[in-house]
Structure 1
């Protein structure tokens, strides 16, 4: 169908009408202090509108008991939103479906059929949305408490402290939340550098849409046994959630989360006071070696462990230091800083922690963790005495934080406490909701001062074994920077 040509008069009339409509709907004039030159003012912080989480499959044990917990900080009644976690398969039904912020929800699953989960939250349930899975296996090779926080999918992960040695079974769990396949590469670095993989096993690993895939790390380099190694997971296409499940014969089992992004200084928070063995594993991804100074942030301040004052890490090679019973009866956090601040080489690190001895040992991991920032949350804390312990560390400067315990999944009243931290120290806190029943969430907010790093230790002893798991807390990124904009009607006449 032909259209009549637009005359000049008609064009002018249309432009005038458009300009008038724009003027009627224009926002109020910019407030005092806005940029006078017409440029956008400084960006504002706004709550995120959508969050994504990925949780690995809990266990292959038929006697596993798994608890899923979900929580969004905030007050109820602040608006609309929805959230749900469902099995990482097509047409899966929701496992968790929170309805309002400020109240945790939980679900349980038994046996080896408990699924990996993927999910999203929007509206008021999106900012700071957190989920946790905790699994208890009473007997067998995978005996222990295995805990891991669900994470946002990504494209690049570092896992120091993995192993392909005899007696260890380390499986990397790759979960794809999207509608297109993800293609993943996994590289292993031992004390001599990159381990030569078996042909075709470590590259182009396909993870189908809405599915999860587990890879036994020892199968990637079957001719090389690495007691301590670093795994690097990257995607060629798509994105995945990635976590490593570790089982060590005669010792225990737990999840090894990814280390914080490579940085010149690292904090590994929440090493238990009664740790009988602490082994540090570090790796420098770049081309320059790293010389590090080691300190333990203890309740009384930072101390230098005798005989373990410094560590040299060769670029591209995994380095190990046995710190033995580093904490000596006091909870602490390990601080890694460059020996020469002018020569800081970014690195990643984690510690393998053992509690108990002989047949009563249990295994856990503490990776380097970023600061809590404005706010960070960990779910699935238990109200029973001496079960939940929060560690707070101020590595560089005095700081003050506010800690809030939410109601439990079965009720209770929230509780809050402010904690003042001295530079170089670690303080511990056992805070639970008043009359709380079921699991609850702990939220840490920075009030003032320098950065604070935090970790939660969950202890669920069984038949004399000090079963435990440690989860770090890091900034929940519940707000994003949104540039301020002003209307410029002159674009209509250009």
Structure 2
């Protein structure tokens, strides 16, 4: 039994060292009756992945990375985004000369990938980098110490012509193992690529399932997609199936490893943008920030479980919540994608969409996204607003310009107050702070107060200070050749703080 006792004692010591909150009590001394409540502490490590920004030679991309000030503790740290490694074609590895050249190229790529594209040096000030053309790689990165809590990054790409024309914005995401993308397509008028990026030093294996209005689409090539270590793979969805479906849901899971996943969607007639994953399946969903001048709004929803979902559809407008005429409810069949054209439901006022169960005792989980169009004819531009979680303690939109930013705030339950901080600019400027009250059941759209003396771009940080949950998004608009190009990024909680349970020593576990 001695070895068992020693193992348990060693385990207790390790636990105390890891948590930093174990209470050490001398043998025979009275132990505390219960562990103290969990402490809320800043995270000490965070990871992000960003997809390759564009396959267009006309693409102009700006990367912006930012860590909010004030919550990172004293520990020094780093926050860097580095290029992924190119995928090596080993088809000719039997040819000694070609194999040697491939090895040299791989070695050069590894050295290049060790150099950060951008690095945050201090909290409270965004850092910007640029890349032009189609050769910009996907990025992976890690933040540690005081630079980890709330670390955020965005890439914003402007393409002025061609099939990818538009303003494409995407928030770099934390790697995960499960993603839902309602609103994707395999239609002939669409070019939808799903980007899978692996940040780790070991390979990952992913599966992609597609679900249309009639259920699962037949596909033999969506299973077992290998994503090599620190690399990125782009898969054209229409190559996974022979069925051309205009509105479908893509489900990405990993068999091994973890990845970042996001869909780049290009429409022949309406521009392009990224589709980020919907919030995890839930009975109630919020999609914040429909622009006041939206000319078309389409809702796409999917019920992943075994039960159908009957959903109440409501618009939280400027002054009240109401149901769109003729579309008060939506029936979503199990494992089938449902869509409805809500047309210009905002009617000149900003709004947010709320989905909730028709019957509270039958809250079937769903995922959802809005496809939003501004402009008409050949002047159209699209953006996607996925269902998103509340701001919670804090959320950040890293890339904002002197003009074109709109912040949308909605409170689906109780009235709430939020604090909005515009950071210092990447090239200079003083932070600015404003406080807003968001009335229950309404959407407030504001033009943020830019930093005084702004140079470059700035970050917007939103914090809930009182009241009910607030959901938020930020739209960024740039005019180009008569087209009001825009992109929308949602602002869920950055999870920069984590509950760390307190521990106490209990030597009774050592008793025989």
TM-score, structure 2 normalization: 0.88
SS in structure 2 opposite 1:218? helix
Which residue in 1 is equivalent to 2:487?
469
CA distance in structure 2 between the partners assigned to 1:160 and 1:391 by the alignment: 22
Q: CA deviation at 1:79?
A: 4.3
Which residue in 2 is equivalent to 1:54?
49
Which residue in 1 is equivalent to 2:325?
306
1:418 maps onto 2:435 in alignment: yes
Q: 1:446 to 1:38 in 2, by over 3 A?
A: same
Q: CA deviation at 1:303?
A: 1.6
Q: CA deviation at 1:27?
A: 8.8
Alpha-carbon displacement from aligned partner over 1:271-315 (angstroms, at most 9, x marks no partner): 111110101000000011111111111111212111111111111
Q: CA deviation at 1:45?
A: 0.8
One of 388, 396, 401 as aligned partner of 1:382: 401
Q: CA deviation at 1:36?
A: 7.8
1:96 maps onto 2:107 in alignment: no
Which residue in 1 is equivalent to 2:500?
482
Contact 1:81/1:100 (<8 A) preserved: no
Which residue in 2 is equivalent to 1:81?
77
Which residue in 2 is equivalent to 1:3?
none
CA distance in structure 1 between the partners assigned to 2:184 and 2:24 by the alignment: 58
Alpha-carbon displacement from aligned partner over 1:351-408 (angstroms, at most 9, x marks no partner): 1111000110111111101101111111111112xx0000000011111111111011
One of 472, 476, 479 as aligned partner of 1:458: 476
Q: CA deviation at 1:139?
A: 0.7
Q: CA deviation at 1:486?
A: 3.3
Contact 1:270/1:455 (<8 A) preserved: yes
One of 213, 237, 253 as aligned partner of 2:272: 253
Which residue in 2 is equivalent to 1:44?
39
User: Which runs of structure 2 are paired with 1:135-146 in the superposition (5 Å)?
Assistant: 135-146=157-168
CA distance in structure 1 between the partners assigned to 2:50 and 2:366 by the alignment: 26
Contact 1:26/1:487 (<8 A) preserved: no
Which residue in 1 is equivalent to 2:380?
361
Which residue in 2 is equivalent to 1:267?
286
CA distance in structure 2 between the partners assigned to 1:192 and 1:250 by the alignment: 26
SS in structure 1 opposite 2:430? coil
Which residue in 1 is equivalent to 2:213?
191
CA distance in structure 1 between the partners assigned to 2:45 and 2:351 by the alignment: 35
Contact 1:414/1:434 (<8 A) preserved: yes
Alpha-carbon displacement from aligned partner over 1:105-160 (angstroms, at most 9, x marks no partner): 00000000111000000000000100000000011111000000000000000000
Contact 2:313/2:353 (<8 A) preserved: yes
Contact 1:284/1:346 (<8 A) preserved: yes
CA distance in structure 2 between the partners assigned to 1:406 and 1:123 by the alignment: 20
Q: CA deviation at 1:485?
A: 2.3
1:71 maps onto 2:88 in alignment: no
CA distance in structure 2 between the partners assigned to 1:29 and 1:204 by the alignment: 49
SS in structure 2 opposite 1:359? helix
SS in structure 1 opposite 2:378? helix
- Provide the aligned C-alpha RMSD in A: 2.2
Give the number of equivalent residue pairs.
Answer: 465
User: Which runs of structure 2 are paired with 1:79-478 in the superposition (5 Å)?
Assistant: 79-89=75-85, 90-91=110-111, 92=113, 93-197=115-219, 199=220, 201-221=221-241, 223-384=242-403, 387-431=404-448, 432-478=450-496
Alpha-carbon displacement from aligned partner over 1:297-354 (angstroms, at most 9, x marks no partner): 1111212111111111111100010000111111110000111111000000001111
Which residue in 2 is equivalent to 1:21?
none
Contact 1:77/1:100 (<8 A) preserved: no
CA distance in structure 2 between the partners assigned to 1:48 and 1:334 by the alignment: 32
Alpha-carbon displacement from aligned partner over 1:18-67 (angstroms, at most 9, x marks no partner): 9xxxxxx999899xxxx985331211111101000000000000110000
Q: CA deviation at 1:490?
A: 7.5
SS in structure 2 opposite 1:299? coil
SS in structure 2 opposite 1:166? coil
CA distance in structure 2 between the partners assigned to 1:300 and 1:458 by the alignment: 24
Q: 1:77 to 1:155 in 2, by over 3 A?
A: closer
Where structure 1 has 5 or more consecutive residues not aligned to the other structure, the ranges are: 1-5, 12-17, 19-24
CA distance in structure 2 between the partners assigned to 1:193 and 1:142 by the alignment: 29
Q: CA deviation at 1:493?
A: 9.0
Q: CA deviation at 1:74?
A: 1.1
Q: 1:39 to 1:458 in 2, by over 3 A?
A: same
- Which 4+ residue blocks in structure 1 deviate beyond 2 angstroms? 25-30, 35-39, 75-79, 485-494
CA distance in structure 2 between the partners assigned to 1:314 and 1:330 by the alignment: 31
CA distance in structure 2 between the partners assigned to 1:354 and 1:490 by the alignment: 65
Contact 2:332/2:338 (<8 A) preserved: yes
CA distance in structure 1 between the partners assigned to 2:246 and 2:59 by the alignment: 27
Q: 1:485 to 1:215 in 2, by over 3 A?
A: same
Contact 1:284/1:345 (<8 A) preserved: yes
